[in-house]
Structure 1
Amino acid sequence: MKRLKIFFLVTDLGFLGNTREQFADGGSRCSMPIINIKMAKGRNIQQKQQLVEIITKASAEILNVKEEWVTVIFDEYERDSWATGGSLHSTKYGDGSGKMGTE
């Protein structure tokens, strides 16, 4: 069984005072969530598209906003720019796109 490690940073621009003029329901103010995904480089476009679709749909439903208001940004890193437990991932897991060391 494969493990998937994804870290999300969700920024709600409403918190910064940059709320949308539109109202999602009965007068409550809505804001635009920005979801930042940090992961190792190497996933293909189909994997990213599938992830974006799932995250967008779930976020819109849970946060009660329109799907077109949800922004997803990928930050992709080389394994030699990411470390856990005091070891670079390039050393710990080798080359790959999240496959090495997770199976």
Structure 2
Amino acid sequence: MLKVYNTLTRKTEEFSTLKPGEVSMYVCGPTVYAKAHIGHAMSALVFDIIRRYLEYSNYKVTHVMNFTDVDDKIIIKANQQGIDPFVLGEMYIHEFEEHLRD
């Protein structure tokens, strides 16, 4: 039996899903205004391990990770470099995804 810590109730509880046999994971990814670092990798790794464990346990898993690509830090950095903020964000998203594949 899988148990998880529920931050709302502040208790360890038995893991349960809204739909039997299915898990949906929405994970916050990096804010893409600079090169990826070990903290970004750690977050991606932890949730990848959780996803793999759930799949191993015969759950159908939908795992989604976002990228924050509109943020003051991105706008400031893009302005400093004289490029569009969306171009900057896409550049670092691509780089992050490449690092995850390596």
* TM-score normalised according to structure 2 size: 0.33
Which of the two has greater strand per residue? 1
* TM-score normalised according to structure 1 size: 0.33
Which of the two has greater helix per residue? 2
